[in-house]
Structure 1
């Protein structure tokens, strides 16, 4: 699959930094458990900060490092934004305008959730192979921490205390510089109804009325959903490695979505990877949802964790487990 390569990663983290409150074991015994504590720090979008602006702020420095102008260098813009500022138009066109580029194709992909980065790589590969594009900008935006999770009642929940905001981008090209070796996806529509958007009052999210909008999981299947999440990432990683003919022991760096410390620990233990081979940013940035993989990859690159020639595997699962995906690349820093 050498027709696809990742040239660079970029990230943007909003200016507001939220620090975790000290935990009193007498008041919250579970919170004293290091695996259950909220992240040490996380970022939140500012009032009025738009998803397209986050994409521009992540992508422009990346293009500057590459020594190129986005104008004339993006044929396809792929976005996945958790909370689109405009549910009719999406965020891609506005992001292109801010970057000063005019891609022939703009696709705002709203499905595939926390596993969307490998999924967007698969779409990019299809477009490159078909000849529709040669230079692709991929952008993942998580922007609910400072908006949805800022609602008064919801702000006290565990989900709100672990969520962080940020944007991760990647520049994908039709060459073999840092080749993408394979992408593997698994879709299980039967699980899609296990997660839903609720308001408490029964109103639909766009209708006026009481009740804060929040994400809810099927209560009678909570244990099953957690077990599903523990299982899915190691399974798709194993299936991907088998597909491209490499062993799990050959993985130099695994980067996954970052839901919580327990999932991260279980995933690497199941795969037999030491913590230094499973790079995560949870304690610094919190749960970044779909942006977790590209933001963490950009962080790894900036901190010298992506060594030349490394086999890097990216993976995640979405929603209540109706979608999971993994991708592998051979990274070359030059």
Structure 2
């Protein structure tokens, strides 16, 4: 477990948000036909009604760069002012180089350190923690981006109905002392690493050693086990971050979770104790977008005007590994660039 609390002299906070969703909207009728399930079943089991798929010419870096530019514009800073760029993804453009390097090039931020983080759907929280830990009074770009439509088996109803593509981004920078990132908490339970995986394509099972139609090329998930893990671990993560931040449930006004499964999140909601918080869900419209889901939901909440200066905003994500991350933020307080 890794836990970090932001410290003086400078507080770091989110000073800009952005997101980008592909243009192609894919409905339940289309994915349901391929997976052999009805539209009603998908909505009842997942809460997902539509999702977006990247076009044939679009890769993760394309979505990430668009979301990144939107966050930079929102923050009012230029790419050259960045001190680091981190892209959280489990669907990189290539095994190497890092997708972050491609995003850096697209932004025109030559020379800025850029690297990827892979904690699957928790990746954005892990990247957020890593970026904030190195900042003092500059700016960092943190992006969550995934193109899951390229790694799901369209005939697997356990996964095909859930996932979509997208990217979300934030700019971290200096904020007023009584605002910003209050605390972060990260955990990985590696004994459960087989719950979520893409078996082929790495050094364990190289793609060259398996036929093109081998099912190991696809994303797989033990849905029942994942649900049990999240049901147990998410309430614990909420309690832990509040304890580390010396905060109460009543101080959290907004809860932005990983948009994994709308039905599951609604079922878990009462056990979190966040009775005064608005729970922001966009899973019905965009599905599960992996590492992008938290920053996409955050951007939508921000641009809708729901987040007010001083509000307590709790971010939480869970994903393969199995990993879980959370962050408590006192919203607003950005200092002039």
Question: Structure 1: 5+ residue runs without aligned partners?
Answer: none
Tell me, what secondary structure is at the counterpart of 2:15? Answer: strand
Residue of structure 1 in register with 2:159 after alignment: 159
Residue of structure 1 in register with 2:133 after alignment: 126
Tell me, what secondary structure is at the counterpart of 2:77? Answer: coil
Residue of structure 2 in register with 1:250 after alignment: 251
Residue of structure 2 in register with 1:238 after alignment: 239
Residue of structure 2 in register with 1:180 after alignment: 181
Note the C-alpha offset of 1:187.
1.9
The counterpart of 1:140, out of the listed 144, 152, 172, is 144
Alpha-carbon contact 1:18-1:44 (below 8 Å) kept: yes
Tell me, what secondary structure is at the counterpart of 1:168? Answer: strand
Number of corresponding residues: 317
- Spell out, residue by residue over 1:170-210, the C-alpha distance to the aligned partner (whole angstroms, 9 max, x if none): 001144374100001112222223333246xx964454513
Tell me, what secondary structure is at the counterpart of 2:93? Answer: coil
User: RMSD of the alignment, in Å?
Assistant: 2.7
Alpha-carbon contact 1:35-1:261 (below 8 Å) kept: no
TM-score (norm. length: structure 1):
0.85
Residue of structure 2 in register with 1:168 after alignment: 168
Note the C-alpha offset of 1:116.
1.8
Question: Structure 2: 5+ residue runs without aligned partners?
Answer: 1-5
Tell me, what secondary structure is at the counterpart of 2:228? Answer: helix
Alpha-carbon contact 1:268-1:275 (below 8 Å) kept: no
Note the C-alpha offset of 1:34.
4.7
Residue of structure 2 in register with 1:60 after alignment: 69
Note the C-alpha offset of 1:159.
1.1
Alpha-carbon distance between aligned partners in 1 of 2:155 and 2:16, rounded to the nearest angstrom: 35
- Spell out, residue by residue over 1:238-294, the C-alpha distance to the aligned partner (whole angstroms, 9 max, x if none): 100011111112210000111112321133211133597111101010011111100
Question: Which aligned pairs between 1:82-121 and structure 2 lie closer than 5 A?
Answer: 82-110=90-118, 112-121=119-128
Alpha-carbon distance between aligned partners in 1 of 2:133 and 2:156, rounded to the nearest angstrom: 43
Note the C-alpha offset of 1:309.
1.6
Alpha-carbon contact 2:121-2:319 (below 8 Å) kept: yes
Residue of structure 1 in register with 2:3 after alignment: none
Residue of structure 2 in register with 1:326 after alignment: 326
Alpha-carbon distance between aligned partners in 2 of 1:154 and 1:19, rounded to the nearest angstrom: 13
TM-score (norm. length: structure 2):
0.85
Deviates most, 171-180 or 263-272: 171-180
Deviates most, 292-301 or 50-59: 50-59
Alpha-carbon contact 2:19-2:296 (below 8 Å) kept: yes
Change (3 A) 1:207 1:304: farther
